[in-house]
Amino acid sequence: MRGAWRVATAAGIGIYVHWTFLLLPAVVAAQALLASNADPSARVRAAAYNVSIVLAVFVCVVLHELGHALMARRFGVRTRDIVLLPIGGVARLERIPRNPVQELWIALAGPAVNVVIAAALTAGLLAAGLARGNPLHHFGLHGGVGFVATLAAINVALVLFNMIPAFPMDGGRVLRSLLAMAMPYDRATGIAARVGQLAALGFVLLAIVTMNPFMLLIAAMVFFGAGAEASHSQTLGRLAGVTARDAMMTDFTTVSADEPLGRAADLLLAGSQSDFPVVGPDGAYAGMLSREALLGAIASRGPEAPVAAAANAHAPTFEESHPAAEALERMQAASVGAAAVLRAGRVVGVVSMENLADLLELSAAMNAARAARSDRASAVRTQGPVRP
């Protein structure tokens, strides 16, 4: 994600902080420092306390997102990264399983982590209180609310907030997965998306009442995120039953790994193909050369450098029988515009985002034509035969 810095790695997953995240500790520190009902030293202490709470909460948020990521890994779904934003964290999964049971477990894994954190902190407070002879000593009923008690309460609040059925939040994904157990996945997504958008309008009202700008950001994320996921689910549904063989281009050009980049540049200019399968000396597939990689390599290495220097040997590939919907998701996750379709290690076709879009539009046009013919036939049957 642009504007984000990598700060750590956990379980092989990069953890990034978006620059806008820095606004949150800055705001809470400023609120304490500008308070007029305390002396300067008290305001500094309050600012430090507020910032430390924010940072501790976001450690819990990272653990929450790792819960999602590690559960997804159990079902074979990779996580690209975890990004911290002012409104929370996002674990960017390569795809969301269309198996409702798997999605349910992934959605519940994050809040479950917060439940464990809150329970552990509460148990620690009880143990510390027992040592003093009063189990509730550290719970605000005696001696004020402490840092650990506040953090435990916030984790409880995170669980309750995340379980609001506001798709695509955790609660909304739980709702979608439960609905998908009883109805088609696309219909379940549509219902969950509408519920999520209604919840987003409620967030807007709450933001206005509480004068909370961050709640407005959450409302926008939920509203537009629900619409985008519903649209994506409909696209995948329209590709149901379509294979890579059905969607692939068979009229394509390959380039050899040992050819100069200038040769690939000539092919780019001469035709409409912008991504080229790369083959080795024996004709076997060796990677994909994208337009962006070609231009970048020519700028840095020159047109005489070999194609192999710019080819992506780890680009996704598909067998002819591979579902087109999964191919689309994998290509989106890998941020590639095209991928090779292989048969026994040889390139037999290229499936591209553009070709998939054309396939969907053509399918929609054919469905519309069939519907029009059906309507005309229905009208003729209703009117009956024309008599002289």
pLDDT in tens, 8-36: 999 999 999 999 888 888 988 888 888 76
- pLDDT of 343 higher than 90: yes
Burial of 121 (0-12, 13-18, 19+ CB in 10 A): buried
Q: How confident is the model at residue 143 (pLDDT cuts 50, 70, 90)?
A: very low
The residue among 238, 267, 296 that closes a domain is: 238
Q: How confident is the model at residue 348 (pLDDT cuts 50, 70, 90)?
A: very high
Q: Residue type for 304, please?
A: E
| Number of structural domains the chain divides into | 2
- The torsion region of residue 143 among left (phi > 0), alpha (psi -120 to 50) and beta comes to left
Q: What local confidence, expressed as pLDDT, does residue 144 receive?
A: 43
Q: How far apart are CA 45 and CA 93, in angstroms?
A: 39
Task: Give the residue among 213, 112, 90, 106 at the shortest CA–CA distance from 156.
Answer: 112
Pair 274, 267: CB distance under 8 Å? no
Per the omega criterion (within 30 degrees of 0), is the bond before 385 cis?
no
Q: What local confidence, expressed as pLDDT, does residue 3 receive?
A: 84
Model confidence pLDDT, tens digit, residues 371-384: 777 777 766 666 65
Flag whether 31 is in a domain: yes
Same domain, 217 and 293: no
Classified as helix, coil or strand, 18 is: strand
Which residues lie below 8 Å from residue 269, measured CB to CB, with a gap of 6+?
none
Model confidence pLDDT, tens digit, residues 257-311: 999 999 999 999 988 899 999 999 999 999 999 999 999 999 999 999 999 999 9
Same domain, 302 and 261: yes
DSSP letter string, 248-267: -BSS---EETTSBHHHHHHH
Same domain, 165 and 201: yes
Please tell me the number of Cα atoms within 13 Å of 294 on its side-chain side.
Answer: 24
Per the model's pLDDT, the better-predicted residue between 229 and 145 turns out to be 229
Same domain, 284 and 167: no
Burial of 251 (0-12, 13-18, 19+ CB in 10 A): exposed
Per the model's pLDDT, the better-predicted residue between 23 and 163 turns out to be 163
Same domain, 305 and 220: no
Same domain, 188 and 332: no
Same domain, 161 and 212: yes
Flag whether 306 is in a domain: yes
Q: What local confidence, expressed as pLDDT, does residue 15 receive?
A: 95
Flag whether 378 is in a domain: no
Q: What global pTM score does this model have? A: 0.77
357-360 own/partner pairs: CB under 8 Å, 24+ apart: 359/239, 359/242, 359/246, 359/247, 359/324, 360/235, 360/238, 360/239
Question: First vs last Cα of the chain: how many Å apart?
Answer: 72
Flag whether 365 is in a domain: no
Q: Which domain holds residue 252?
A: 244-357
Average pLDDT over residues 93-107: 93
Q: How far apart are CA 157 and CA 172, in angstroms?
A: 17
Per the model's pLDDT, the better-predicted residue between 161 and 241 turns out to be 161
Q: What local confidence, expressed as pLDDT, does residue 322 receive?
A: 92
Flag whether 388 is in a domain: no
In the numeric block, the tokens 């309507």 are attached to: 375
Model confidence pLDDT, tens digit, residues 28-86: 888 888 876 768 888 888 889 889 999 999 999 999 999 999 999 999 999 999 999 98
The residue among 210, 238, 266 that closes a domain is: 238
Average pLDDT over residues 252-256: 94
- pLDDT of 386 higher than 80: no
CATH of residue 276's domain is 3.10.580.10
List the single range of 74-78, 89-93, 233-237 with lowest mean pLDDT: 233-237
- pLDDT of 112 higher than 60: yes
Same domain, 11 and 142: yes
Same domain, 229 and 252: no
Same domain, 100 and 181: yes
Pairing of strands 79-85, 13-18: parallel
Flag whether 377 is in a domain: no
The residue among 238, 268, 295 that closes a domain is: 238
Q: How confident is the model at residue 142 (pLDDT cuts 50, 70, 90)?
A: very low
Q: How far apart are CA 202 and CA 171, in angstroms?
A: 15
Flag whether 55 is in a domain: yes
Q: How confident is the model at residue 141 (pLDDT cuts 50, 70, 90)?
A: very low
Same domain, 233 and 153: yes
Flag whether 372 is in a domain: no
Pair 96, 69: CB distance under 8 Å? no
Q: How far apart are CA 72 and CA 173, in angstroms?
A: 14
% of the chain with per-residue pLDDT over 90 = 59
Same domain, 64 and 187: yes
